[in-house]
Amino acid sequence: MIANQGENVVSTIQDCQNGISIDLFLHLSLIPAVFIVGVLSFLQRRANRLPIDHRLPILEGRFGIVVPLDTIGSLHNRWSYGFAYGAVSSSVLLLFSEKYIPFTVPTWARAIVYLVGAIEVGLVYFPFFACLSTSFKTTGAVLGILYSLAWILVTVWDSFTCPNGKVLGKYQKIIVHWPCVLSLVFLLGRFLYMLVKTVRIQHVGQEDPEQLTEQHQVKYVKRLLRKTPEHSEPLSWFQSRVYEWDPYFKFPNRIIGTAIISLIGLYTITLADYSLSDVAFDRVEKWKNTLSQLVTTCNQTEALGAMIPQLEEFIYVARECWLATTFFASLNSIAYTFHVLACYRKHLKRLWKGQKGFLPERFHRPSSAVSVASIARYSGWQIAFTLWGYLIVHFVHFLFALLLAYVLVLPVKHGMALSMLTNLGIVIVTIGLVIGLVIFQVILVQIFFLQDKMCPNDKEKPLALNNRKAFHCFNYFFFFYNVVMGVSNCVLRLLSSIVVGTWLVSRIDRTIMQRGYENMDAGYSTWIGMIFADHYHNNPVMVCFCQLLVSNTLQRNNVSIYSTFNNAESPMYSRARTRWLLFYTLLRNPHLILLRKYHLSSSSSLQTSLSLKLDTVVQVLIMASQTQRGELAAKSPPEIIITPVEEC
């Protein structure tokens, strides 16, 4: 009956022809995508003129580079970019399919085909990002509305007219495509909001000036400068055990987009895993039935006939274990996705405080090229690690479930609980004896072979031997036993390393290599380089400092303390004021004198000037050491003109 249903579904899929296919529409979307990018590039003017601008002055610096999104410093439209990534998710997963390219290619050329396919997908979805980030809001909003509306109509039409599929059967496209449709609807609403806001700003004529700092970064710096309260409110159970919300930290759009694609990809691959495993177990049962019929008709041996019930039991247990662990594996991967976000915030905040102790020693300062390249690699690698990690963790869960079923559940079901408990007790006692002897050695050393505490308040005894002769005998006799115990511990160490390594394969923020070999873990190296790049570009203290410098520079353009030097004054007066300010600065900051550089020629006339400068420096050092800071602040320093020096 299942086979007949599958044949009906396949025939329905083959007969369903709605005239529009998502795969075909993806290829045809290159034309409007290139047109939209060309329009935005025409509106964008280049900062630096090229030789073609002199030959064709009519261009006026147009056809500049269109930036899809700022993956480093921008925190605007974070959720809009996240849903734009969500709209891309279905096509990103389509790249893993061999049916993405309608024609066959040689095996050696698949890498080139994947590269071309990735470029095509990136160009098709480029308008969503470009229309969000462009400075020409009206044009970007109108083009974004038209483009997203076309994608919504085609996706919805294809999902409802031909909903069936080969993997999930009935309503496959609706089940798979609804996250993408939701993302496209959100983008449509965002573009409509942009259009309304742009029209209102043009009508009113008010627009907020662009700032280097964000509001949360300013609040973070203010919190650093504020005195820490003596008594703080206790954290709730959720904040202390699960997640503590920080209003002074925001995730960049790159991290949010990566998390959204990972979650949508997990949703899709979980559905595919569930359906494909169900079909696979159905085929295994069909082969088992065929094998049992052959055994019955051919009168095979009793041993072969006795294997049929065991095979049936194994297939049943394996099916139930696989389907049960699907839920736990997907839940584990979802928890990892959110945990990586928490680790990203925790690691960045540690770097902001100057704490690098959580990093391996060789990763305390990665190279600049590695850090910048990690920004480009992280998102793709995190998504791939998450999807592959789900499959690997699912398989590990499946093995543990099988072990639990055959060790505990099936013996009880078959009335062999007593033998199961006996065997389990023997294993537990053996392991307990091994662990107990290890603890016994530690207790013996603690009692007999360590000297007494030097102070009664000490927590532990000092690392100083006592009863040396007895300790040498103890070490000699336990040497032979520790050799035997080391064999089992070696196997246990290998098994635990395999289990932990496979369990954490999707955790790109944690290395699965041994200490000293962390650089062989390419995923962890990418994580370290990425957080260092974000640290150097988004540190709130540095960003606020740069904002202060920019603000002061803009203020100086109107009223500056050095504006008198630009007035129509005599050069001698301007030079005297410069020298006076230089002298006053060196007098208040004598340590700056050692940092000054003098560029002297080899002429003998300038050697005399050098000696005069050195005498002046010595006089300044003596005055600075003998004069207190308060007296200099109260009295106006004399107007001393230093011999010709370099400008400040």
The radius of gyration computed from the CA coordinates of the chain, to the nearest angstrom, equals: 36
Task: Please indicate whether residue 410 or residue 90 has the higher confidence score (pLDDT).
Answer: 410
The 3-class SS string of 134-178 reads CCCHHHHHHHHHHHHHHHHHHHHHHHHHCCCECCCECCHHHHHHH
Highest mean pLDDT among 37-51, 234-248, 595-609: 37-51
Of 94-108, 148-162, 168-182, minimum mean pLDDT range: 94-108
C-alpha–C-alpha distance, residues 170 and 617, integer Å = 88
Q: Helical H runs in 242-367?
A: 253-298, 302-352
Q: Are 159 and 22 in contact (CB under 8 A)?
A: no
Q: How far, rounded to the nearest angstrom, does the alpha carbon of residue 600 sit from its chain's CA centroid?
A: 52
Confidence at residue 146, expressed as pLDDT on a 0 to 100 scale: 92
Confidence at residue 212, expressed as pLDDT on a 0 to 100 scale: 64
Closest Cα partner for 337 from 269, 401, 271? 269
Of 26-35, 220-229, 353-362, 604-613, minimum mean pLDDT range: 604-613
| pLDDT exceeds 60 at position 136 | yes
Q: Are 461 and 451 in contact (CB under 8 A)?
A: yes
C-alpha–C-alpha distance, residues 112 and 106, integer Å = 10
Average pLDDT, integer, range 563-588: 66
| Residue pLDDT, tens place only, 237-283 | 777 777 777 888 888 888 888 888 889 889 888 888 888 888 888 88
| pLDDT exceeds 70 at position 61 | no
| pLDDT exceeds 60 at position 508 | yes
First to last CA, the chain: 90
Scored b (16 or more CB within 10 A) or e, 37-53 reads bebbbebbeeeeeeeeb
Mean pLDDT of the chain: 76
Closest Cα partner for 33 from 66, 80, 74, 73? 66
Beta-carbon-side half-sphere exposure of residue 397 (alpha carbons within 13 Å): 21
Q: Are 53 and 224 in contact (CB under 8 A)?
A: no
Closest Cα partner for 256 from 472, 75, 473? 75
Q: Are 377 and 526 in contact (CB under 8 A)?
A: yes
Confidence at residue 295, expressed as pLDDT on a 0 to 100 scale: 65
CA angle 535, 540, 542 (to 5 degrees): 80
| pLDDT exceeds 50 at position 614 | no
Average pLDDT, integer, range 485-507: 84
Confidence at residue 301, expressed as pLDDT on a 0 to 100 scale: 58
pLDDT band at 70 (very low <50, low <70, confident <90, very high): confident
C-alpha–C-alpha distance, residues 247 and 285, integer Å = 55
Question: What distances in angstroms separate CA 132 from CA 78, 87, 128, 150, 194, one per listed residue?
Answer: 10, 14, 7, 17, 9
Q: Are 93 and 67 in contact (CB under 8 A)?
A: no
Q: What are the start-end ranges of the E strands in 431-505?
A: none
C-alpha–C-alpha distance, residues 190 and 80, integer Å = 7
Beta-carbon-side half-sphere exposure of residue 80 (alpha carbons within 13 Å): 24
| Residue pLDDT, tens place only, 344-391 | 999 998 988 888 888 887 777 777 888 888 888 888 888 889 988 999
Q: Among residues of the chain, what percentage have pLDDT more than 90?
A: 4
Residue linked to tokens 């274990």: 321
Contacts of residue 81, defined as CB under 8 A and 6 or more positions apart, other chains included, come to 69, 129, 132, 253, 256, 257
Confidence at residue 15, expressed as pLDDT on a 0 to 100 scale: 47
Average pLDDT, integer, range 168-179: 76
Task: Please indicate whether residue 102 or residue 111 has the higher confidence score (pLDDT).
Answer: 111
Confidence at residue 603, expressed as pLDDT on a 0 to 100 scale: 40
| pLDDT exceeds 60 at position 635 | no
Residue 109: exposed, middle, or buried by beta-carbon count in 10 A (0-12, 13-18, 19+)? exposed
**Model-level pTM?**
0.71
C-alpha–C-alpha distance, residues 337 and 334, integer Å = 5
Of 224-228, 398-402, 500-504, 643-647, minimum mean pLDDT range: 643-647
| pLDDT exceeds 70 at position 452 | yes
Q: Are 244 and 235 in contact (CB under 8 A)?
A: yes
Q: Got the DSSP string for 59-126?
A: GTT-S-PPP---SSS--TTHHHHHHHHHHHHHHHHHTTSGGGSSS---GGGHHHHHHHHHHHHHHHSH
Of 19-23, 175-179, 327-331, minimum mean pLDDT range: 19-23
Of 17-26, 221-230, 338-347, 406-415, minimum mean pLDDT range: 17-26
C-alpha–C-alpha distance, residues 549 and 322, integer Å = 60
Residue linked to tokens 């511990």: 489
Confidence at residue 156, expressed as pLDDT on a 0 to 100 scale: 85
Q: Are 591 and 624 in contact (CB under 8 A)?
A: no
Contacts of residue 601, defined as CB under 8 A and 6 or more positions apart, other chains included, come to none
Average pLDDT, integer, range 186-206: 80
| pLDDT exceeds 60 at position 610 | no
Residue linked to tokens 């020096």: 645
CA-based torsion, 505, 507, 509, 512: positive or negative: negative
Which neighbouring-strand residues pair with 319?
Answer: none
Task: Please indicate whether residue 492 or residue 238 has the higher confidence score (pLDDT).
Answer: 492
Task: Please indicate whether residue 356 or residue 294 has the higher confidence score (pLDDT).
Answer: 356
Residue linked to tokens 């997203």: 148
Q: Helix, strand, or coil here: 247? A: coil
Q: How many CB atoms lie within 10 A of CB 523?
A: 20
| Residue pLDDT, tens place only, 395-411 | 989 999 999 888 888 88
Average pLDDT, integer, range 617-641: 44
| pLDDT exceeds 70 at position 102 | no
Identity of the amino acid at 432? G
